[in-house]
Structure 1
Amino acid sequence: MIKLRFLNISYERGRQILLFLFCLFLAFIIWSIHKLSESYTVYMQYKVTASVGLEGRSSEADSENLLIVRGKATGFYIIQHRFSGVESRVRISPDRRAVRKRAGVKDGFFILVKDVNEKLIQSFGNNVFVESFTTDSLFFLFPGQTNKRVPVKSRFSISFASQHMLASQPRVTPDSVTIYGESSLLSQIDSVFTKGIKLDNLNSPAEGMAELIPMAGVRFSQGDILYYFDVVRYVEKSWVVPVTFVNLPPGAALKASPAEVLLYYRERFDSSPVEQSLLGAEADYLEFENSLSGVVKVRLTGEQRGILSWRAEPPFIEVRNAVSDTVK
């Protein structure tokens, strides 16, 4: 028989002791689970968040005082409630007539617990069997708020399949929302943004919903918008055209260098082709007058119906006075 050197305990005896201790520990765990699964009557404290549609005021507020509840709950829930390190709270949406003004308190309101008794009980769900409420009134501050209309700015990252593009600007609905908050805060906001949306390899129209990025202390009239991308297939063509001038005063004459430009334009694949002979390129005399270098941007003229996009090569031309033949 093997004996432990220092304790003078045989190996077999030591193994029995360890097994006994393990069984004792296991029994304690089972007993603890059993006891914690039972229900106990205790007092618990909660912060109450009330959502009320008071006109011109914050949509929700936390109670200044705590709601004290006497009720039954499992040992597990009681331990979680008391030692989680997070303030326990419940949310209710009382009727507006249950919210009363507090005399002498700016933005102050109160709610009688008896008026929202059922809503409070429902807010606990199956976690607590409420026996009674010790608190008789809940006090709130609903600060006054203003509102204004601001545009929605979208954040999209889009790529297209070969020979596909947008036929028009992305469309968002609505393109503006009403924001609510304190005046000092709203004065710093001139727009709201959508969360980023990435769409790759588009080859047909796309639509969906984009969420607005929340702002602390600000409420939106709606939290998301609809977007639509009109994606079409295109063909690209080119056409060499001479450069003409517009807004020329009487007696003025200009020369363009180069005198011709190459127009690249895109049109829908499934539409009637654009009549190239109706397209042209022009430069504006007024732009030439205001230019220090005599370099003017080329503009497209003629029948542009059906053209999705265009560019000129070169996009800028050098313009000279034909009489003196010098660069202005």
Structure 2
Amino acid sequence: MRKSLPVILAVLASVVIWLISNLSETTSDIVSVQVVAHSNLVGHSDVAEESVTIAAVVSGSGFSLLNLALSTNKIVDVTFDPEDLTNRDGDFFTIADNTLFKYASSIMGPSVSVKSFLSHSVTFRFMREAYKKVPIVPVSFISCSPQYMPYRDMVISQDSVYVYGDPVRLESLDKVLTKQIVKRKVNRGVHGVVDLEVPAGMRLSEGQITYSQEVTRYVEYSTTAVLEVRNLPEGRKLTVFPSVVQVTYRFVFPISGNPAQNAIFYIDYDEFVNSLGGKCMVRCDNSPDVAICWEATPQMCDCVESSL
């Protein structure tokens, strides 16, 4: 027995070397994989109803093919772009084999190369779901450093989202909020990614969006303005108290001269007709583009109508 042991070890070593040598070589074989499709199709579930078998001729090392063969019962989750899926009939969506190559690495793994798929197309079933398209409302608290402030409205990457869930609950849903965006001591534009608040028991087509908020340095400028009256009918007179208001602007820094010299402040007679108690809001026309905001003091004026 002791004399035969070296022989046995030599044979085993030869077999191991032979296996390693052969498994290291590139070869081809037919491999099947169970795939569960995911996608963001409008009006349908985001997960296919059942898994589908996808078979392909692949090439790779013997080790890679052996690993694939040993994991044939493993289910692979693959996310497909909605644009790559064609609606053939009701809940059934098809992807052509030439497009399927985009997802070859996700389906078969990165260690092998797909030469061809055995089917010209693959079909998945995505069940219909009740849904509603609602606006996205950003929720933010942005405090700036002295002499800085937000400029213009916050810009978000998309203004609406599809919500999936119970039809009765969808009827009362009119918007989806973002999680709160909090920034402090800001002196430059801010941007980033924020998650959406998912209504309880519902699903969103998107989980997050990007946002961007301009921030600018400003300078305050105060002046007085004589109020005009607009839309006044012939034969009528509207007396405004006070007839001159103090106006405080915030302009984008720097400024030159008085950018608001062509601005017109007025009271709208049509607003007076529909008012309670004759109080009307001071309004502005032809405000300069560099004006971030303005405020009149007082903001509301008393108005009295009379005949000429």
Alpha-carbon contact 1:145-1:183 (below 8 Å) kept: no
Shift of 1:276: 4.0
| Alpha carbons of structure 1 residues 195 and 292: separation in structure 2 relative to 1, 3 Å | closer
| Alpha carbons of structure 1 residues 183 and 318: separation in structure 2 relative to 1, 3 Å | closer
TM-score normalized with structure 2 length: 0.58
Secondary structure at the residue paired with 1:210?
strand
- Return the alpha-carbon distance in structure 2 between the equivalents of residues 62 and 319 of structure 1: 67
Out of 279, 288, 298, the residue aligned to residue 282 of structure 2 is 298
Count of matched residue pairs: 209
Shift of 1:170: 0.9
| Alpha carbons of structure 1 residues 259 and 178: separation in structure 2 relative to 1, 3 Å | same
Shift of 1:213: 2.0
Secondary structure at the residue paired with 2:226?
strand
| Alpha carbons of structure 1 residues 179 and 91: separation in structure 2 relative to 1, 3 Å | farther
Deviations 1:246-272, CA, capped at 9 Å, x for gaps: 111112222221121111111100354
The match for 2:272 is 288
Alpha-carbon contact 2:194-2:208 (below 8 Å) kept: yes
Alpha-carbon contact 2:219-2:254 (below 8 Å) kept: no
Alpha-carbon contact 2:217-2:252 (below 8 Å) kept: yes
Alpha-carbon contact 1:208-1:226 (below 8 Å) kept: yes
Deviations 1:177-208, CA, capped at 9 Å, x for gaps: 22334544433433222112211111110000
Secondary structure at the residue paired with 1:168?
strand
Secondary structure at the residue paired with 1:169?
strand
The match for 2:192 is 208
Q: Name which of structure 1's ranges 173-182 and 158-167 shifts more when overlaid on structure 2.
A: 173-182
The match for 2:229 is 245
The match for 1:58 is 45
- Return the alpha-carbon distance in structure 2 between the equivalents of residues 258 and 241 of structure 1: 11
Out of 184, 195, 219, the residue aligned to residue 203 of structure 2 is 219
Out of 135, 145, 152, the residue aligned to residue 161 of structure 1 is 145
Secondary structure at the residue paired with 2:152?
coil
The code of the aligned residue for 1:259 comes to S
- Return the alpha-carbon distance in structure 1 between the equivalents of residues 195 and 251 of structure 2: 33
Alpha-carbon contact 2:49-2:127 (below 8 Å) kept: no
Identity among equivalent pairs (%):
30
| Alpha carbons of structure 1 residues 239 and 179: separation in structure 2 relative to 1, 3 Å | same
Out of 212, 218, 242, the residue aligned to residue 228 of structure 1 is 212
Deviations 1:41-62, CA, capped at 9 Å, x for gaps: xxxxxxxxx6655965433499
- Return the alpha-carbon distance in structure 2 between the equivalents of residues 54 and 226 of structure 1: 18
The match for 2:24 is none
Alpha-carbon contact 1:167-1:231 (below 8 Å) kept: yes
The code of the aligned residue for 2:214 comes to D
Shift of 1:322: 5.1
Secondary structure at the residue paired with 2:219?
strand
Q: Does 1:317 align with 2:301?
A: yes
Alpha-carbon contact 1:288-1:296 (below 8 Å) kept: yes
Larger proportion of strand: 2
| Alpha carbons of structure 1 residues 239 and 296: separation in structure 2 relative to 1, 3 Å | same
Alpha-carbon contact 2:235-2:307 (below 8 Å) kept: no
Alpha-carbon contact 1:267-1:274 (below 8 Å) kept: no
